[in-house]
Amino acid sequence: MGNNKSKNLSMREAMERGLRPGVILIPVIIFVTLIAIGTVNGEMFISALNSFFVSLMVNGSWFVSLATLAFVLFMVFIMVHPIGNVKLGGKDAKPEYSLWNWFAISLCAGIGTGIVFWGPVEPLRFAVQPQLSAGLESGSREAVIWALSKSYLHWSFAPYATYAIFGVVIAFAYYNLRSSYSVSSGFSPVLGKTTEKKWFKGLVDTLTVFAITGGCAGSLGYGLLQISSGLNTVFGIPATTWTYIAICVFIVVMYNVSSVTGMDRGIRWLSDKNAWAFLIMMVLAFLFGPGQWICNLFAESIGDFLSGFVKSITAVSAFNDAGQAVGSVWHQSSELWPQWWDHYYFVDFLSFGPIVGLFCIKLAKGRTLRQFVVMNWLVPSIFGIIWFAIFGGLALDIQYNFAAYADKIDLQGCASLFDYMQQFGNEAMMLKVIEVIPFASVLKPLILLLIVVSFVTMADSTTSTVALMSIQNNAGVDEAPTLLKIMWGLIMGLAALVFTLTGSIDGIKIIKTIAGFPILIVGVAMIIMFLVYIVKNGRSKTVKDMMNDQ
């Protein structure tokens, strides 16, 4: 990687280079403590976390919305500014991955698991239960358009900008300024050797490792719920404690095996198959679903989304539903919709942002910064919008035109698809809407496999990156030792299992969101310093040469 000869480390070699005890021990101690508390008294634990989360989100939501908007604008800036011409690794660097492999790995390492879970859920839920202050009638045309527009906001340009801003800055520092492979290297364009101080690197990278460990564990918890629901639907296997344990053990073994095999064999193979499965599902849902309705709905909703993007991303509910200014005290009657949905997602994705960005730079050698932004921000954002248009449109058509599907789908006595979701949970939705498509008996096991592979791919990239960050002086290293990868994989799996079994998966998600706040500050500081670097050095011979390398 970079300008150094790459290699895979043994544990002995890692010990010789030096491990980073703070980066390893602090997140481990925190999660062991949280797991213990959640096991002893999960209800009290969740209640306390919820109160802290509400206070944090209410008082900081303005910063979340403006920072997220700044991340999106930064992506546009990189695409149009000459700095986008900088080739990662220098003018002689050659790409190591095909465009397809690059797209597949980036897609699956980002929000692949999320779109499978939420694809039909969000549009339906938002259309039936829109934000109160929006003044929309449940199920109306306006509510349906608003629902899809909100889903696009949550799963396209905003979250992928959160990933890509870290990738852009760190990739530039790593490949072109010869900085180390860590999140803290994103500050080296301006701070230079300051980022080599142990306290600074330790602080930034410890926050990052804590955030991603919680993020990965939270995502696995949702995966356990969805897979167990699917096993019950397809094979009649009840969702019991032992079912959760068996699923968790299987997934942990899978992503540890994949991680140990390395990038070229594990992640490349999994992501390739996963991306093809995504495309096949989309095509089948469109061809055998209400294609014309989906196209019309997409045309209206994408227009609403794009025209109101800035307004939507900066909505913070400064006034409650009665039109009263909320002020510094948040009353129980006030609406928390933007905080619970929009800003929750933005900060939630931030817990993954640095690690996903750090991982994505391993795929980008020989590409320009502009190409990096296109492949890691623009393309997957468009993919997310199309995915939600198709599966959201299908779910909404089933909800409001059920007569056309009565002989294809069994709602098990529920009056509507929304009622079915309320009774059987969000995790049951994707498998249910697929019933209206031919070959559903084949697609259902495929979806279960898709969920498993999506998470395995994400967890694989996470454990590989976190393990590498656990080593001092990791420049030139492609793969961390197997033992470190397995250790992090087990920690994430155990956290997810315990919090799922204790009914505290919401707690781990809230913890992940809380951890995302300091990452938000890191991201804002990083892009400000990168812009300062461009202004100060944009006319220097070195930077001009980098811009003209392509």
Q: How far is CA 280 from CA 288, 323, 387, 391, 409, in A?
A: 12, 47, 11, 13, 21
3-class DSSP state of 224: helix
Q: Rounded distance, CA 314 to CA 101, Å?
A: 35
3-class DSSP state of 407: coil
Task: Determine the pLDDT at residue 514.
Answer: 74
Q: How far is CA 295 from CA 120, 298, 299, 387, in A?
A: 16, 5, 6, 12
Per-residue pLDDT tens for 419-457?
Answer: 999 988 887 888 899 988 888 888 888 788 777 777 777
- Beta bridge mates, 368: 87
CA angle 152, 337, 147 (to 5 degrees): 35
Three-class DSSP labels, 18-61: CECHHHHHHHHHHHHHHHHHHHHCHHHHHHHHHHHHHHHHHHHH
Per-residue pLDDT tens for 72-94?
Answer: 999 999 999 999 999 998 888 88
Q: Return the top range by mean pLDDT from 84-98, 226-240, 467-481.
A: 84-98
Q: How far is CA 43 from CA 38, 53, 504, 511, in A?
A: 8, 15, 8, 15
With CA atoms as reference, report the closest residue to 104 among 379, 367, 389, 463: 379
Q: Rounded distance, CA 54 to CA 340, Å?
A: 9
Task: Determine the pLDDT at residue 111.
Answer: 66
Q: Rounded distance, CA 19 to CA 52, Å?
A: 34
Per-residue pLDDT tens for 380-398?
Answer: 999 999 999 999 999 999 9
Q: Rounded distance, CA 292 to CA 290, Å?
A: 6
Residue 368 backbone zone (phi > 0: left; psi -120 to 50: alpha; other: beta): beta
**Contact present, 491 and 24 (Cβ < 8 Å):** no
**Is pLDDT at 285 greater than 50 in this prediction?**
yes
CA angle 14, 210, 527 (to 5 degrees): 95
Query: Does an H or E element contain 477, and which?
Result: strand 477-479
Query: Does an H or E element contain 478, and which?
Result: strand 477-479
Alpha helix (H) residue ranges in 325-413: 337-338, 344-360, 369-373, 379-400
With 0-12 CB in 10 A as exposed, 13-18 as middle and 19+ as buried, what is 82? Answer: middle
For the chain, domain boundaries: 7-38+60-311+336-406+435-541
**Is pLDDT at 31 greater than 80 in this prediction?**
no
CATH code: domain 7-38+60-311+336-406+435-541 is 1.10.4160
Q: How confident is the model at residue 59 (pLDDT cuts 50, 70, 90)?
A: confident
- Residue with tokens 């949550």, as numbered in its chain: 154
**Contact present, 65 and 315 (Cβ < 8 Å):** yes
Structure tokens that stand for 214 in this block: 């919680």
3-class DSSP state of 326: coil
> Backbone phi, then psi, for 478, in 5-degree steps?
-85, -45
Of 279 and 110, which is predicted with more confidence?
279
Structure tokens that stand for 418 in this block: 């929304």
**Is pLDDT at 233 greater than 90 in this prediction?**
no
Of 397 and 321, which is predicted with more confidence?
397
Task: Determine the pLDDT at residue 328.
Answer: 45
